[in-house]
Chains A and B, each alone.
Chain A
Amino acid sequence: MSTKKNSIQSFFSALPKNIFSGFVVSLIALPLGLGLAMASEAPPISGIIAAVVGGLLVSIFGGSHVTISGPGNGLVGVLLVAITTLGIQGAYAAIICSGVLLVLLGFLRMGKLADFFPSSAIQGMLAAIGLIILGKQFHIMLGNKLSLDGSVAYLLAIPETIQGVFTYADPGLTFAAVSGVLSLAIMVFYSKIRNQYLQLIPAPMWIVLLSIGFSYYCEVVLQQPNPISAMYMISGIPSANQIVAEIPVPSFSGIGSLSFWTSVLALTLIASIESLLSIKAVDKLDPQKRRSNVNRDLKALGLATVGSGFLGGLNVVTVIARSSVNVNNGGSNRSANFMHALFLVIFIVLFSAQLTRIPLPALMAILVYTGYKLASPALVRKIFSVGKEQLLIFFTTLLATLFIDLITGIIAGLIITFMIHVLVNKGASVFIRNFLKPNVLMFQEKESGNYYVSVKHFCSFLNFYKLKQKLEDVPEDKDVVIDFSMCQFVDHTVMENISGYQDVFARRGGNFEVIGLDLHGTDSKHPFALRKLIPGLTKRSGALTKRQLTLQEISKDFNLQYQAEKSEDVRFLDGFKYFSTKKIERIYNRLFNTENTFKLFDINYSEGEFIAKEDVRTTMLHIKLNGVVPGFTLDQEGFLEKVSAFAGFKDIAIENHSDFSKRFYLRGEDPVAIQAFFTDNLVLFFESNPYYHIESNGTSVLVYSKERVAGVKEIKNLHDFGKRLQTELLVCAQNPG
């Protein structure tokens, strides 16, 4: 009961902030809603209706915390097609059906749907949507209304329109173009000017305010009509009474046709992908680090879409830009979304007449900027840096979307991605054979409480959901080690998602480490590049993994040198009994000091030969000592398999330290020397520190813990232990007995 009371209390104490943040968001939502609706060739008010219905319903029934819902830019392309083929009333029916499908997706727990699409393909699709928006609105922004066939034609006509601007005979058109260019300039330069007063009002609202102000200035001060051509003013903003009186009736007459259902499918697909991606991105921004219930959100969005469709509004999706504004302005719970909807209602009720004073080009400049952001050259550069093959996926999806349609585009993206994966792996067998296998194992390591996740065979967009399912089960404040060493192939989608998890874990006090990728080959230096395990790889490609980069970093902190390249010079490991039955293949990722007396390294060795051969990769620490110490092996009692080579030697008891003798297994060839060597201090040191397996070959010691590569955090622990052990041993070696 008290927790409930507390939550009500905290809700009310956070309410003022949420009201404010909802207000700021509504300032953007107003022009965006109008613009997006007009770009889709729907009545401008339908965008506002979607935002209002979405804000009210999703804030009540949704499962996320700081997201804002409303009309989305991803849907512009699909809605455009739906409205042109089905008519506006048919489109409302399609919107309602897609809402029902969204609710179904929510009940079927298809929140993982977005994970099945390769990220480069999604980027390509979004870029295509960006180009569709940009291509169409660019002409209106410059006062040249066109009606062409297909989105590519609009793009190709851009140079003509730019030339045409300078030859307008009608000054009204020139003024329209000027207002468009000025608005675009506001959008572009707004983020570059850091002025606290200017930043109080978001850029789109500045455009609205300035253009309305200009219109009043002409009317009241100059006493003359607005110089911008009347054709280029927003028309048809009904008053609040009209909206209620003129709710359109959706027409379900096209429900039997194929084009109707293609539209429904496309709307559902894009709405769910856009929403899921936005929720995922917004969760990373949430200062309170909460996890959203995506399935519940899908249900709420579906419900809101149905409601919006019946009231004459567009699809409701979760939108990233408005949500981030919400977070930046202190929105902390769903009431901000609710408030943004209420403020929109207030704006329409009070100012619907003023809104007709906004010139269209100004509004479209906002959309041109949005479209450019979706398809910016910087994005292409970023994808190129990940790898050439990602660029191929990106452009295939982009072109297929532009020239054919969205669904074809995303399917083309899926196919080309899979084909590239088959090419990279020189065959589809690894995918076909292992596609249905549950390739992810997770368990909690008993001694440390770490979650250990091992992935087998391959991990790509095809089966990432299996890995994701396991990772979702881990509280984000825990330590996770994910091991890809048994995985032949890891693709870019997985690498990018894994990096997302790393961020989330880091923010919530956990630790998320990826191991076992150091031997995978890549084409580019980008940390998200796809990786493939190449057996017997002789020449490693230059790209370092994230772990290697971190090792490089910490080597500086520790005053050590770092070398990622493998080294065959492993003579310093001679004389250790541990390796007497093992073959050392190579050591790599070395961290060492200048005198080469303190070495941390990853080592790859094998046990057995031919069919019984087992490859092991692990991390070890080698300390060279100045003095001479007796040869010994120290283990946690019970870890017998590590020291089979010492079989025959008994556990050496140290006098007066029965607890030490009980917990540790100490063996060596010369019990007397060892007993003398293990002074009280040394025994105490071992007793009070974590267990490591320690072996001495007479002149140096080898310290290691697990038969797998250590994560960065574990390496730091090992380094710390090693440093202290070194001092202890040096003391003992100098004062024997």
Chain B
Amino acid sequence: MFKASLVLIHIGEASKEKSATFASYLAPFSKDGLVAKVVFSPGEPVGAILESVKQKGIDLLILGALQRENFLKYYIGSIARKITRKASCSVMLLINPSIEPLPCKHIVVNGLEDEKTPATISAAFFVAEALSSEKITIVEEVYNTDIGNVQDDKSLRKSTLLKEKISRREDSRIQKILEDIPQKHKENKQVGTQPIFGKRGYSIGHYAQVVRADLLVMNAPKASVFWDRLFPHDLEHILTELPTDILIVQ
């Protein structure tokens, strides 16, 4: 679909038995022209995977992740999350991987005012084209700090006007980005925009859940430090809850 080659990273020692299993998994796809190889990298999972990503020059890392971490499953979940935080390439987190591919009908993508956003939106369109999705919604988040505090009728009118103004401004910004998307990717799709009012990062996940989107495409975060874990923002919120499948574009 993406005309890409697949690299399976297995944490553990190489063995013939394992290679055979992978080969049998991959057989049906190889027929369709999939170029795949299996990398065995023993060691600590997070480090090993990140290392192979660097070595092989991988563009997209696909991980399975659990929607909610509890103590038993914490380990698996936390690997996916750790990698997401540190990876130097784009990452796709699948909350419910299945053998039968589920149709990806509705993609929600962030439209933050950020230098990475145009790239993220165009990546979303590229993915949408590849997965033949029917609907893309670009979400502009409007923050409370921008619209001021509503205290009485006067400030309410002011903030309502301001809200409309911001919505229009955001909309025109997104439209500009959309103009640069190749026409080919825009065909056969319903493209919408939606301003939402909420907490940056978190609310887009909530929105994706409300409209029952199948994939959420987000900008990659700036380097995360320990501080961010204590006061989660942006991506950290999404990672703690994983409302849908997520693609993080680097």
B199:A640 contact, CB within 8 angstroms = no
A222: chain B residues within 8 A (beta carbon): none
B152:A293 contact, CB within 8 angstroms = yes
- Alpha-carbon distance A437/B147, docked complex (angstroms): 21
Per-position binary interface string of chain A over residues 619-630, scored 1 when its CB falls under 8 Å from any chain B CB and 0 otherwise: 000000000000
B195:A441 contact, CB within 8 angstroms = no
Given A291-B152, A294-B151, A442-B198, A614:B212 Cβ within 8 A: yes
Given A291-B152, A454-B210, A640-B134, A441:B196 Cβ within 8 A: yes
A422: chain B residues within 8 A (beta carbon): none
- Alpha-carbon distance A129/B19, docked complex (angstroms): 78
How far is the CB of B99 from the nearest CB of chain A, in Å?
11
Per-position binary interface string of chain A over residues 704-716, scored 1 when its CB falls under 8 Å from any chain B CB and 0 otherwise: 0001000000000
Per-position binary interface string of chain A over residues 163-200, scored 1 when its CB falls under 8 Å from any chain B CB and 0 otherwise: 00000000000000000000000000000000000000
A436: chain B residues within 8 A (beta carbon): 232
- Alpha-carbon distance A439/B198, docked complex (angstroms): 9
B194: chain A residues within 8 A (beta carbon): 443, 446
Per-position binary interface string of chain A over residues 428-464, scored 1 when its CB falls under 8 Å from any chain B CB and 0 otherwise: 0000000011111111101000001010100000000
A63:B151 contact, CB within 8 angstroms = yes
Per-position binary interface string of chain A over residues 86-113, scored 1 when its CB falls under 8 Å from any chain B CB and 0 otherwise: 0000000000000000000000010100
Per-position binary interface string of chain A over residues 279-314, scored 1 when its CB falls under 8 Å from any chain B CB and 0 otherwise: 000000000001111111000000000000000000
B159: chain A residues within 8 A (beta carbon): 473
Per-position binary interface string of chain A over residues 254-297, scored 1 when its CB falls under 8 Å from any chain B CB and 0 otherwise: 00000000000000000000000000000000000011111110
Report if A644 contacts B (CB, 8 A): yes
A486: chain B residues within 8 A (beta carbon): 209-210
A438: chain B residues within 8 A (beta carbon): 198-199, 202-203, 237
Report if B98 contacts A (CB, 8 A): yes
Contact count A vs B, C-beta below 8 Å = 93
A641: chain B residues within 8 A (beta carbon): 105-106, 134-135
Given A616-B212, A641-B135, A454:B150 Cβ within 8 A: no
Given A473-B150, A641-B106, A441:B156 Cβ within 8 A: no
- Alpha-carbon distance A438/B141, docked complex (angstroms): 14
Give the residues from 196 to 215 in chain B that come closer than 8 angstroms, CB to CB, to chain A: 196-199, 202-203, 206-207, 209-210, 212
Report if A595 contacts B (CB, 8 A): no
Given A441-B198, A640-B135, A707:B151 Cβ within 8 A: no
> For residue B194, which residue of chain A has the nearest CB?
A443
Per-position binary interface string of chain B over residues 131-175, scored 1 when its CB falls under 8 Å from any chain A CB and 0 otherwise: 000110000000010010111110111011001000000000000
Give the residues from 93 to 111 in chain B that come closer than 8 angstroms, CB to CB, to chain A: 95-96, 98, 102-103, 105-106
Report if A612 contacts B (CB, 8 A): yes
B30: chain A residues within 8 A (beta carbon): none
> For residue B154, which residue of chain A has the nearest CB?
A293
Listed residue (B103, B157, B198, B207) with the most chain A CB atoms within 10 angstroms of its CB: B198
Report if A608 contacts B (CB, 8 A): yes
Report if B192 contacts A (CB, 8 A): yes
How far is the CB of B108 from the nearest CB of chain A, in Å?
12
Per-position binary interface string of chain A over residues 457-482, scored 1 when its CB falls under 8 Å from any chain B CB and 0 otherwise: 00000000000011011010000000
B212:A707 contact, CB within 8 angstroms = yes
Give the residues from 399 to 446 in chain A that come closer than 8 angstroms, CB to CB, to chain B: 436-444, 446
Report if A639 contacts B (CB, 8 A): yes
Report if A148 contacts B (CB, 8 A): no
B197:A442 contact, CB within 8 angstroms = yes
A290:B153 contact, CB within 8 angstroms = yes
Report if A611 contacts B (CB, 8 A): yes
Report if A535 contacts B (CB, 8 A): no
- Alpha-carbon distance A195/B212, docked complex (angstroms): 62
Report if A536 contacts B (CB, 8 A): no
Q: Which of A295, A454, A638, A707 is B206 in contact with, Cβ under 8 Å?
A: A454
A470:B197 contact, CB within 8 angstroms = yes
Report if B24 contacts A (CB, 8 A): no
- Alpha-carbon distance A737/B41, docked complex (angstroms): 71
B157: chain A residues within 8 A (beta carbon): 475
What count of chain A residues pass the 8 Å CB interface test? Answer: 41
- Alpha-carbon distance A483/B203, docked complex (angstroms): 15
B153: chain A residues within 8 A (beta carbon): 290-291
> For residue A294, which residue of chain B has the nearest CB?
B151
Report if B224 contacts A (CB, 8 A): no
A475:B156 contact, CB within 8 angstroms = yes
Given A63-B151, A291-B156, A641-B134, A441:B102 Cβ within 8 A: no
A473:B202 contact, CB within 8 angstroms = no
A441:B207 contact, CB within 8 angstroms = yes
B102:A608 contact, CB within 8 angstroms = yes
> For residue B206, which residue of chain A has the nearest CB?
A441
- Alpha-carbon distance A111/B147, docked complex (angstroms): 18
Per-position binary interface string of chain A over residues 138-156, scored 1 when its CB falls under 8 Å from any chain B CB and 0 otherwise: 0000000000000000000
Per-position binary interface string of chain A over residues 185-222, scored 1 when its CB falls under 8 Å from any chain B CB and 0 otherwise: 00000000000000000000000000000000000000
- Alpha-carbon distance A72/B149, docked complex (angstroms): 29
B241: chain A residues within 8 A (beta carbon): 437
Given A291-B152, A443-B195, A475:B160 Cβ within 8 A: yes
> For residue B152, which residue of chain A has the nearest CB?
A293
- Alpha-carbon distance A296/B194, docked complex (angstroms): 34
A437:B202 contact, CB within 8 angstroms = yes
B210: chain A residues within 8 A (beta carbon): 441, 452, 454, 483, 486
> For residue B205, which residue of chain A has the nearest CB?
A441
Per-position binary interface string of chain A over residues 540-584, scored 1 when its CB falls under 8 Å from any chain B CB and 0 otherwise: 000000000000000000000000000000000000000000000
A444:B195 contact, CB within 8 angstroms = yes
- Alpha-carbon distance A472/B157, docked complex (angstroms): 12
- Alpha-carbon distance A475/B153, docked complex (angstroms): 9
Given A616-B212, A638-B190, A469:B144 Cβ within 8 A: yes
- Alpha-carbon distance A470/B103, docked complex (angstroms): 34
A616: chain B residues within 8 A (beta carbon): 212
> For residue A290, which residue of chain B has the nearest CB?
B153
B197: chain A residues within 8 A (beta carbon): 441-443, 470, 473
A707: chain B residues within 8 A (beta carbon): 212
- Alpha-carbon distance A639/B192, docked complex (angstroms): 12
How far is the CB of B134 from the nearest CB of chain A, in Å?
4
A611:B96 contact, CB within 8 angstroms = yes
> For residue A472, which residue of chain B has the nearest CB?
B150
Q: Which of A443, A452, A473, A611 is B156 in contact with, Cβ under 8 Å?
A: A473
- Alpha-carbon distance A456/B157, docked complex (angstroms): 28
A-B contact pairs, 12 of them (CB 8 A): A111-B151, A293-B155, A295-B151, A296-B152, A437-B237, A441-B210, A442-B198, A443-B197, A470-B197, A473-B159, A611-B98, A640-B135
The 4 closest A-B pairs by CB, nearest first: A438-B199, A293-B152, A443-B196, A441-B206
17 more contacts with CB within 8 A, not counting A295-B151, A441-B203, A644-B105, are A63-B152, A109-B149, A290-B153, A291-B152, A439-B206, A441-B210, A442-B196, A442-B198, A443-B195, A443-B197, A446-B194, A470-B197, A472-B156, A473-B160, A473-B197, A611-B96, A707-B212
